[in-house]
Amino acid sequence: MAVDTRFYASLGALTLESAAALTGAEPVGDPNTPITGIAAADKAKPGELAFLEGEGAGLTSLSPDLSVLLVSEAIRRRVADGVALLVVKQPRHAHNVIARTLFKPRHQLAQTRVAISPDAKIHPGAELGAGVVVGAGAAIGEGTVICPNAVIGPGVQIGRNGFIGAGTSIHCALLGDHVTLLAGARIGEAGFGVTPGPSGLEDAPHFGRVILQDHVTIGANTCIDRGVFADTIVGERTKIDNLCQIAHNVVLGRSVIMAAFGGISGSVRIGDGSMLGGQVGIADHVNVGAGVSLAGAAGVLRDVPDGETWGGTPAKPIRQWMREVAWLAKQTSAKKRD
């Protein structure tokens, strides 16, 4: 997916040669190869740059349209001919440097002193409370209520009959109709992407979006991070409680229920109609099927098939978990009698 310029300002383009000079990488290929965008290695289009880390996981799924690939010396010879390369010790760090040279989130650019941008499109039937800020290019639909001190970032689109609670902030996001955000929700901030650099740990930039489909409800002080390259998506009629964390690139299906204090790590997939109890935690890249129930405080470390009920940490099928809890209680009681 190309970077959405409603949310990210283009700062110009690079060539293979200039990108090499910027990062200290060794260029391989035509020095005039243009770099105009960034993407995941399996989704890149012409002109887009991607990276591979480690031992080259992902080499077999490279996009055939990829223009430039950042790699380490260890895997450069395993890349097929025809792909321009930037060979560098820390490919992800170099990618971060180039990405920040190409794009900048519009909400991080200097803003005017006007609270409501003249370039915003606000339906006459929408209601805005005191202290609301609306950025350039944002759109707010008919019947939507924006409560005091909410911040609607540049380019954000909000559909009809929504409710945006007091003190909420929304960046890099598209909201459908009848979406409810309770007070203090944070939508579209960067996720917890950390990468090593020459001087220590660095924050990895995020250039994706958040998409909240129709009739979604997000609880007070819940945070939903935007994606790295792709989108974080919350499906129709999904209901998320207060004080939850949803990381970058997560996809929730339709009519998912998530109780308070839950945490979902990056790139998790959750199927339609699943129910997550309070304090559920899910590790990154896990797939949870449709119609799944997760007991309160479950710690999910592996994929869960459709329709199953799991509990415990590490989570497992509920009957197995209950048998193990009962056995442990029995052993403890026996020890006390001894």
Q: Which positions are catalytic? A: 248
Q: Is the peptide bond before 305 cis (omega within 30 degrees of 0)?
A: no
Which residue matches tokens 């690139």?
Answer: 249
| Rg, C-alpha atoms of the chain | 23
Residue of 159, 170, 194, 20 whose CA lies nearest to 105: 170
Residue type, 196: P
DSSP 160-191: TT-EE-TT-EE-SEEE-TT-EE-TT-EEEE--
Helix (H) or strand (E) run with residue 133 in it: strand 133-134
Look at strands 157-158 and 173-175 and give their pairing.
parallel
The backbone region for 328, taken as left when phi is positive above 0, alpha when psi lies in -120 to 50, beta otherwise, is alpha
Residue type, 102: L
What are the backbone dihedrals phi and psi of residue 181, each rounded to the nearest 5 degrees, phi first? Answer: -120, 120
Residues with Cβ within 8 Å of 74's Cβ and at least 6 positions away in sequence, in order, are 55, 56
Q: How far apart are CA 53 and CA 90, in angstroms?
A: 8
